């Protein structure tokens, strides 16, 4: 399964819980997405089921108009990749979209056991938003990906 999978340091998956919390809660989820939104070279990778789960959560917990406008905004930001029917959306997005990071509140996905199982398939780091913010440095990612000095954020996050 790992054949042909080359994780890109600039490709990041935000799970549905993080995407919904970005909009409805704020805090570390929004700070994480602000990092993505403020760097045009960081790519948010998603699948259609992941985005639809998020949209449904927003519609249920807030309202349909907000959910629809969120969907239009995220469609401009995200790279959408195919997801096989029975795959878990965040994992499918990471594997199919060559992402190196998954950001999620789901402890099961972040557990040591899940991490070991994933490493057998492909290299991906699974972190909470808090851990992502503590560990992931856009400057280091930029230098790893482009072998140049980090120019700083290149667009407004909001």
Partner 1 sequence: MRWADLFERAEAYDVGTDDIRAFLRERRERE
Residue from the set 106, 131, 145, 153 that interacts with partner 1 by CB under 8 A: 106
Query: Under a CB-based contact definition with an 8 Å cutoff, are residues 156 and 35 in contact?
Result: no
Per CB under 8 A, the segment of 19-27, 39-47, 118-126, 146-154 that binds partner 1 is 19-27
Cα distances (angstroms) measured from residue 82 to each of 72, 79, 87: 19, 10, 10
Per CB under 8 A, the segment of 1-9, 69-77, 95-103, 146-154 that binds partner 1 is 69-77
Q: Would you state the structure tokens that stand for residue 141, as one six-digit string? A: 């990612």
The pairing of beta strand 78-81 with beta strand 8-14? unpaired
DSSP 81: E
Residue from the set 48, 56, 82, 137 that interacts with partner 1 by CB under 8 A: 56
Size of the site for partner 1 (CB under 8 A): 26
Q: Is residue 62 near partner 1 by the rule CB under 8 A?
A: yes
83 φ, ψ (degrees, to nearest 5)? -130, 125
Cβ-based nearer residue to partner 1, 27 or 151:
27
């Amino acid at each position: 399964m790992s054949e042909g999978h080359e994780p890109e340091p600039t490709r990041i998956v935000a799970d549905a819980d993080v995407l919904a919390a970005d909009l409805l809660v704020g805090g570390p989820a929004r700070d994480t997405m602000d990092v993505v939104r403020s760097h045009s070279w960081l790519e948010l990778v998603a699948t259609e089921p992941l985005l639809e789960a998020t949209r449904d959560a927003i519609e249920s917990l807030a309202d349909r108009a907000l959910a629809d406008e969120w969907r239009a905004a995220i469609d401009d930001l995200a790279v959408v990749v195919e997801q096989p029917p029975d795959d878990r959306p965040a994992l499918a997005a990471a594997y199919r979209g060559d992402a190196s990071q998954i950001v999620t509140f789901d402890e099961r996905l972040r557990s040591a056991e899940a991490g070991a199982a994933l490493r057998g398939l492909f290299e991906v780091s699974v972190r909470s938003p808090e851990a992502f913010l503590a560990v992931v440095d856009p400057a280091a990612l930029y230098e790893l990906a482009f072998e140049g000095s980090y120019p700083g954020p290149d667009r407004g996050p909001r």
